[in-house]
Structures are given as structure tokens and as C-alpha cells.
Homo-oligomer: A and B are copies of this chain.
Amino acid sequence: MMEGREDSDVIEQQVEDNTENSSRSLVSPAGGGRGPCSSSQRLLNYSDALISIIATVMILPVAHTKMEDDEQLRQSFQLLLTTKIAVYLMTFLIVTVAWAAHIRLFQVIVYVDDCLALLNLACMMIITFLPYTFSLMASFPDNGLGLLLFCGSVMIIGLIQSGIVLYAFSRPVLLSDQIQMSENRSSYKHHILKVIMRVPIMCFFASVISFVFFQLSYALLAVVVFLPYISQGVKWCRSKAIGHVDESPDAMLFSSFLPSEALSKERVEAFSDGVYAIVATLLILDICEDNVPDPTAVKKTFGGSLVAALQVYGPQYLAYFGSFATVGLLWFVHHSLFLHVTRTTRLMGLLNTFSLAFVGGLPLAYQLTQEFPRNSRNELEAVQISCVIVFFAGIFQLSIFVVALFSQQETLHPHVRHGGREHVFMLAKLALYPCVALTTFVLTCFLTKFSASIFHLMEVTVPLAFLVLRLSVRLGLAALRHVFCPEALGRQSVLEDVVEDNVPFNT
């Protein structure tokens, strides 16, 4: 036992060392000279957590829309549900646009003091109010109030952010080192202010126009919110199609602070983690609240048998574990992917947003699959919708990787680039969910009777598939090699190199 004790001491020492190191990296490197300001890391983590919760909040009204059995009401119900889903998707995109602006701002301001932290909290408070204003707009499209509230919120956010920029430039120690040392700091400040105030000013015009002509102001808002993404996407396609295009200063002014600046990888990860965590626990929130039976009801209806009372909720538990496992595994794939990403371009960020938006709908789809009687038409639809959602969530993750491969020198670690050691394995991981979802979808079209069984089978096999993925990729590659180039078995080919390094867990 004495030996064990010595060990412990060594480890304790190391734990202390770690703490020391990390706390050193958290406060500003310049130390005392910067006085009461510090690295913005934790402020950004908290902001990311808030924004990820807010982005997914509008899925709750969708979740709690109860299906009517009445055929007559069904049409109006479907319209309501479609509206709610549209609101969810639009809110998700709008909030992520606000989040991207927040990232850009804090790539320029890298240290925070108390005043900045408080201003940022005020900004967050207004951002968390955006989904509600948007949902008012969707429920009352003919009433100007929702539009005015939305525009008002955006204008306040713009003013607070301008305040943040002015404050930070008045105390240059807060800025990133390169701006601090640059000579034309003030021209830089004006540029950033222009970019920040552009959206609020357009919102101001939209709110003025709304008193006269509604449709125009909605169109204006749509342009304002999504143009950066659209222009970025078009630019990327053009540059891939006809080679590198020189950025004009105008385009740069319009799209961002910096022409082709990357999103901060840590913040994309933190935001994604927040969304995955909220979505994974969405169903347990409902279960904890609604599915604890009432003691008197248990006595009356089930003769005091708690087991019988809980059996009623059985499908809900199944739905919870199924959706937690699926969301968890999608997070796992995302985690594996971003271990190998060195730089997140804006297009990759956009694809990530789309993937997350689909992940948000997943628990509800899973819940629906358990809600209907066996072999009903509704059950089949619910299973198929679940497959579609899983498919799109997975396919957008895959497309992040594909887009990253296009400019792999900048965006990927060497060992996952074309021909790199981990390349095949990464592709297999990313392709697993889309393939399984597609297969399940096709199978349920033919074997409608067994749709639920097929779906449950999928839920169980996928986690196992992830466990044996390394092994099966290795076997698959070996088989391919055996079929296509049996004479290469003795030589050291590229494929073999790939395979050898993919030994499940080299000892």
C-alpha cells in the first residue's frame, strides 16, 4: 500500500501542475501589466452555452403540438405543425447568424474586463429574446408588432455591440496584439463599426417601411439576415469553378470584417456541444416532469401496482434511450471529425449549422415513432421521418468533411487528407449514419409491416457498428485489395500503409 501511496503523491503533484498551467493560460499573458482584464475564454463559453440553448428553444412548441385523431382537424393541424417547424428552422438560422457575428467581434477583442463582460451579458439578454419576437412574427404575419419588436431587438444589439467596439478601442490592451500594434487602428475601428451597424440600420429602414408596405420589409429582413451566407456560398462555388477570384474591397465590406476569415474552431465546437447536450436531454426533461404517476391515480387505476402504472410510459423510455443514443453517436462522429479539422471556414460552419438544425428535430421524430399503434399508417410515416432526419443530420456532417477536403492544406490535419492514414476510417464513420438511415428508409418502403422492428434493429446495431468500425474497415480494405490487386499482397502499397496504421488499437 505504501508504494501505491507514493504513486498518488506523484499524480497529485501533476494535477497541481496542470492546474497551474491552465490557470496561467486563462489570465492574460501580459499579467499585471494588463491590470483587471483577462482572456475572454470563459465569457465565450458561457455565451456559446446561452446561444445554443436559445437556438434550439423553438423545437419545444413543435414537440408539444398534440396530434388530433379527427380527420377534419388534421389538415389545419398539419398547417400548424409546418408553421412551427418553419419557425424552428428560421429561428435556428437567425440565432446562428447572431452567433457568427459574436464570434467575429471576439476574434478582434481577445481580452475582456468587467465592463465588457457586463456589456456582453446585456447583449446576450437581448439575443435570447429574438426567438420570441420571431415566433410572434410567424403567428401574426399581418401585424406589425412582431416585426417592430424583432427590428428593435436587432437595433439594440447593434448599439450594444458598437458600444463594445468603442470601449475596446479606447483601451487597446483589450484588442488582439496585431491590431494593438498597427498604426491605423482608427480606420480599422471605423470599418468594424460600419459592418456592425449595417444590419441594425437596415432593420431600422425595414421597421419604417413596415408601416407602409409589409411584404417589402419582410423581404428586406430576409436579405439582411441571409445574404452573408448566400454570397459566401456563391463566392466559394465560383472560386472552385473558375479559380481564385480577387476580393473587391466592397465585397469584403459587405460580408465580414475580414474577407475570408475562418470561424473560431473552439467556438464552433462549444456551440455544437451545447446543442447536442440540450437535444440529447430534451426527452428526459419531459419524462421527469410528466411521467411520474400520481400516487392516488396509481391506487385507483392500477390497484396500487407501480410497475403496471409505469408500463404505460414504456414507449417514452424507449424513445428517450433511442434518441439519446443517436444524438450521442452523432456527437461522437462530430467530435472525431473536428479532432482532425484545423480551421473552420464559413461554409463548413454553415453546413454544421444545417446538421445541428436537423439534430434538433431528432428526439421528436423518435418520440413519434413510439406514439402510434403498431402497423398503423402514422407509425410508418413517423419511422420514415426519423430516417430522413437522421440521414440529413449525417449527410451534412459528411459534407463538412468533403468541403474540408477541397482545401485540405488549410483545413485538415495531414493524416486525414487524401491518402492519409485515417482518411478511410473517417469517411466510414461519417458515412455510417447516412447509409444506415437510407437503408432503413428503403426497407420500410417495401416491408411496411415490419417498419418498427427494422427501426429498432437499426437503433441497436449502430452503436455496435461504431465499436467494430475500425476492424471492419480494415477487413473491407484487405478484401478489396485481395480482389483488385492480389499480386500486391507482398509489396508495401499505399493501401497497405493505410491498413497497417488502422490496426484497432496498436499496443
Q: Which residues of A contact B (CB under 8 A)?
A: 1, 3-5, 7-8, 10-16, 18-20, 22-23, 26-27, 32, 35-36, 38, 42-43, 45-46, 49-50, 53-54, 57-58, 60-61, 64, 107-108, 113-115, 117-118, 121, 124-125, 128-129, 131-132, 135-136, 139-140, 143, 145-146, 171, 176-179, 182-184, 187-188, 191, 249, 252, 257-262, 264-266, 269-270, 273-274, 276-278, 280-281, 284-285, 287-289, 291-293, 295, 298, 306-307, 310, 321, 324-325, 328-329, 331-332, 335-336, 338-339, 341-343, 410, 413, 415, 422, 425, 463, 466-467, 469-470, 501, 505-507
Chain B residues, CB < 8 A from A182? 7, 10
Q: How far is the CA of A247 from the CA of B187 in the complex (A)?
A: 63
Residues of B within 8 A of A266 (CB): 22
Q: A136 contacts which chain B residues (CB < 8 A)? A: 292, 306
The reply to whether A113 and B505 contact each other, CB–CB distance below 8 Å, is yes
Which residue of the partner chain B has the closest CB to A182? Answer: B7
CB-CB < 8 A to A12: which residues of B?
258-261
Number of this chain's copies in the assembly equals: 2
Q: Distance in Å from the Cβ of A16 to the closest Cβ of chain B?
A: 7
* A262-B145 in contact given A4-B188, A57-B285, A114-B336 (Cβ < 8 Å): no
CB of A507 to closest CB in B, whole Å: 7
Closest 5 CB pairs of A and B: A49-B277, A121-B328, A10-B178, A3-B184, A8-B258
Specify the main secondary structure of chain A where it touches its partner: helix
B505 x A128 contact (CB < 8 A): no
Q: Which residues of B contact A42 (CB under 8 A)?
A: 269, 273, 335, 338-339
How distant is A44 from chain B, measured CB to nearest CB, in Å? 10
Q: Kindly list chain B residues whose C-beta atoms are within 8 Å of the C-beta of A276.
A: 46
Q: How far apart sit A122 and B507, CA to CA, in the bound complex (Å)? A: 25
Residue of B32, B278, B280, B336 near A415 (CB, 8 A) is B32
Identify the closest chain B residue to A117 (Cβ): B332
The answer, among B26, B125, B321, for a CB contact under 8 Å with A324, is: B125
23 A–B contacts, CB within 8 A, in A order: A1-B249, A7-B187, A10-B182, A11-B179, A18-B264, A19-B262, A20-B342, A36-B422, A42-B338, A46-B276, A49-B274, A60-B288, A60-B289, A113-B505, A121-B329, A121-B331, A125-B324, A129-B284, A132-B284, A132-B292, A140-B295, A145-B307, A146-B306
Q: A182-B10, A287-B132 are in contact. Are A4 and B332 (CB under 8 A)?
A: no
CA distance A171 to B332 in the complex (A): 21
Could you tell me if A115 and B38 are in contact, using CB atoms closer than 8 angstroms? no
> Complex formed: what's the CA distance from A259 to B331 in Å?
35
Residues of B within 8 Å of A131, CB to CB, are: 284, 288
Contact B129 A343 (CB under 8 A): no
| A176 contact set on B, CB distance < 8 A | 11, 14
Instruction: Give bound CA distance, A249 to B6, whole Å.
Output: 12
In the complex, what residues of B have CB within 8 A of residue A121's CB?
Answer: 325, 328-329, 331-332
CA distance A205 to B202 in the complex (A): 67
In the complex, the answer to whether A139 meets B292 with C-beta atoms within 8 Å is yes
Which listed residue, B58, B171, B262, touches A507 by the CB 8 Å rule?
Answer: B171
Per the bound structure, the CA–CA distance linking A252 and B2 in Å amounts to 12
When A325-B125, A422-B36 are in contact, do A335 and B22 touch as well, CB less than 8 Å? no
Closest to A107 in B: B15
Instruction: Tell me which of B7, B129, B252, B293 contacts A184 (CB under 8 A).
Output: B7
For the complex, what is the distance from the CA of A442 to the CA of B125, rounded to whole Å? 30
Chain B: minimal CB distance from A426 (Å): 10
Q: A15-B261, A139-B292, A335-B46 are in contact. Are A187 and B125 (CB under 8 A)?
A: no
A177 contacts B14, C-beta separation under 8 Å: yes
> Are B273 and A46 in touch, CB under 8 angstroms?
yes
